[in-house]
Chain A
């Protein structure tokens, strides 16, 4: 099933890999499905009457592979249409990185320093993702959210996390 699609797609490859949204969408589903189909049987399949833990994952995996083919095949068969770019018109790499770095900073500083440093780091880092943000504005916002957040979550809702504590590496 895949081979002829590949062949038809080949000329398009030169014009940019990140086109053909549906083709990659289907491919991703096939990938997920294959992982399940291959990993499922290692959990013991069992019979229909006495299903083992591997039965459902394997069955779902097969279904997902079929769905993936159903998504990808029509996309690969027709020539490139308009609006097939996967990335948005103006990719916000910096913004995305900051948003993802925020929670990671929370994990890092929260684990080693407590709630206050974790909160400050999380808000500060993620606030930098906005194009108009400055270090000063981000720090201001982070400070305000830290004061508010710590008083709400530590003192009012009593989330068991120390406010400020050095745990060392």
Chain B
């Protein structure tokens, strides 16, 4: 078992080190690192914009690049939090609490240096986990029939929508809305046209890119226009030699780093709990363990490295269910899965055996990408901070053009640009009403496969719904769903208490995904 994992990994490095693949990986992490720093541009919007540009390149290169954007942005997000007290990206919001005070005390460089190190530790563990766990999961998943796949998807959808931020009921409503949007178009089995309202342009369904860019592009710009304040870069000057931590600092952060990694990898195993939850839990744990909890929030290095390690370990771990089961845990993973599907690759347990180049190439590129990021991050911080000075008023019109041309280029169809505008309006209304639209994408990507498997399961069981609880594995998933909902109701009734104090900066984060 271990031996095959190593030969496969060796093969993966062969794929990832091909010149064009390494180039795509490099472009991906570089772009990701950049947008991670920019407020108002998240990895979701960036991946959606880049998605149509990847049609021309081979699937391996495309997925390496898009995944690179995802984890590259995590490195960038930390810079923003520590140096500028801007929680641009939800997973790094807690890092502000202790990161920025450190910067004010002139120790911002140390915080950054240790963060980069902690990120690498966290990511490495996440990747190792993926190497050994994913093939095991596949062995189990290959036994799944339609009923098991259905219950597993149900669990994934429920977890993805209720464990994200905001009200769980609203999250589930968004998932259902996403499932509904996935239904639009021609029914694969009967050829019936559903919810097209007579528009032939909708026969092939709503375009994933149009949906993603409406949700995370246009709506995001509408939210941020004239809202992004002038950035205070008073403390943002960091020199390379400032980043070397003292021996004492290094020693202090070793244990929190590993605790964070552990929390992150646990969170990655629970479907639906992405990096944001991992970082918050890690911070809370660290504060609880600490002998001086009252000092948290005043610039404790433990409060920086622990959540950062957790974020990275969880980001890499999130790829496990996505790649091995075809069940994405959050919107970014759903988008990556969508990218694979556009390339004609069917996600699911057969992916690793049918497309080993994609899976093992991706795993190997994680190592390469993370090493590249560590090397890049240090000298580039200065440039990224300068980039932050680009006012939003130049940024969003340019981004809007990229949205338009990207959607157009996907199918050379102007109708879809209009589709994006409509989805953008709807999505902004949803934001105003207090919904978080990210689960829509989850429902949209999984919807057609859910319906297909549900139909198949019903056909096999002759219309008996009991099949879902009669088959043991399926019953386990259903049980987990019930536990999940039960726990939510329990927390609701008891009245949830926030574990982490929310500074004012975090409040602006509401609905910022």
Most buried by B among A54, A124, A130, A157: A130
Chain A residues in 8 Å Cβ range of B177 = 29, 32, 64
Minimum Cβ distance to chain B for residue A129 (Å): 5
Contact A51 B194 (CB under 8 A): no
Give complex CA distance A126, B167 in Å.
Answer: 33
Contact A56 B454 (CB under 8 A): yes
Most buried by B among A39, A87, A133, A159: A159
Selecting from B101-109, B264-272, B310-318, B398-406, the interface stretch reads: B398-406
Instruction: Tell me if A164 counts as interface (CB < 8 A to partner B).
Output: no
Minimum Cβ distance to chain A for residue B260 (Å): 33
Give complex CA distance A48, B467 in Å.
Answer: 12
Minimum Cβ distance to chain B for residue A156 (Å): 10
Instruction: For the complex, count residues of A whose C-beta is within 8 A of B.
Output: 70
Contact B170 A130 (CB under 8 A): no
Contact B180 A57 (CB under 8 A): yes
Name the CB-closest residue of B to A83: B434
Contact A99 B405 (CB under 8 A): no
Instruction: Tell me if A117 counts as interface (CB < 8 A to partner B).
Output: no
Minimum Cβ distance to chain A for residue B42 (Å): 17
Instruction: Tell me if B100 counts as interface (CB < 8 A to partner A).
Output: no
Instruction: Tell me if A76 counts as interface (CB < 8 A to partner B).
Output: no
Contact B433 A25 (CB under 8 A): yes
Most buried by B among A21, A53, A70, A90: A53
User: CB-defined interface of A1-32 with B at 8 Å, one 1/0 digit per residue?
Assistant: 00000000000000000000110110011001
Q: Which of B455-510 contact A (CB under 8 A)?
A: 455, 458-459, 462-465
Q: Which of A73-100 contact B (CB under 8 A)?
A: 86-88, 90, 92, 95-96, 98-100
Contact B393 A127 (CB under 8 A): yes
Contact A153 B409 (CB under 8 A): yes
Cross-chain contact of A92 among B226, B397, B420, B451 (Cβ < 8 A): B226
Contact B404 A25 (CB under 8 A): no
Give complex CA distance A89, B472 in Å.
Answer: 53
Contact A64 B173 (CB under 8 A): yes
Give complex CA distance A51, B465 in Å.
Answer: 13
Give complex CA distance A68, B174 in Å.
Answer: 11
Give complex CA distance A68, B169 in Å.
Answer: 9
Minimum Cβ distance to chain B for residue A27 (Å): 9
Instruction: Tell me if B424 counts as interface (CB < 8 A to partner A).
Output: yes
Chain A residues in 8 Å Cβ range of B169 = 67, 70-71
Contact A49 B458 (CB under 8 A): yes
Give complex CA distance A21, B433 in Å.
Answer: 6
Minimum Cβ distance to chain B for residue A34 (Å): 12
A56-B183, A67-B169 known; A48 vs B218 contact (CB < 8 Å): no
Minimum Cβ distance to chain A for residue B138 (Å): 28
Name the CB-closest residue of B to A74: B169
Give complex CA distance A59, B53 in Å.
Answer: 37
A48-B458, A103-B218 known; A25 vs B179 contact (CB < 8 Å): no
Instruction: Tell me if B380 counts as interface (CB < 8 A to partner A).
Output: no
Contact A107 B417 (CB under 8 A): yes
Cross-chain contact of B173 among A68, A96, A127 (Cβ < 8 A): A68
A71-B169, A99-B221 known; A39 vs B195 contact (CB < 8 Å): yes
Minimum Cβ distance to chain A for residue B115 (Å): 33
Instruction: Tell me if B128 counts as interface (CB < 8 A to partner A).
Output: no
Cross-chain contact of A95 among B172, B226, B401, B454 (Cβ < 8 A): B226
Minimum Cβ distance to chain B for residue A86 (Å): 5
User: CB-defined interface of B160-184 with A at 8 Å, one 1/0 digit per residue?
Assistant: 0000000101101100110110010
Contact A49 B194 (CB under 8 A): no
Chain B residues in 8 Å Cβ range of A138 = 397
Minimum Cβ distance to chain A for residue B202 (Å): 14
Minimum Cβ distance to chain A for residue B456 (Å): 10
Other 15 A-B pairs with CB < 8 A, given A48-B464, A68-B173: A21-B432, A25-B435, A28-B429, A43-B187, A49-B459, A49-B462, A51-B454, A53-B189, A56-B454, A60-B179, A67-B176, A90-B226, A92-B225, A103-B400, A157-B53
- 7 pairs, A vs B, C-beta closer than 8 Å: A44-B192, A50-B459, A53-B192, A67-B172, A100-B421, A103-B403, A161-B408
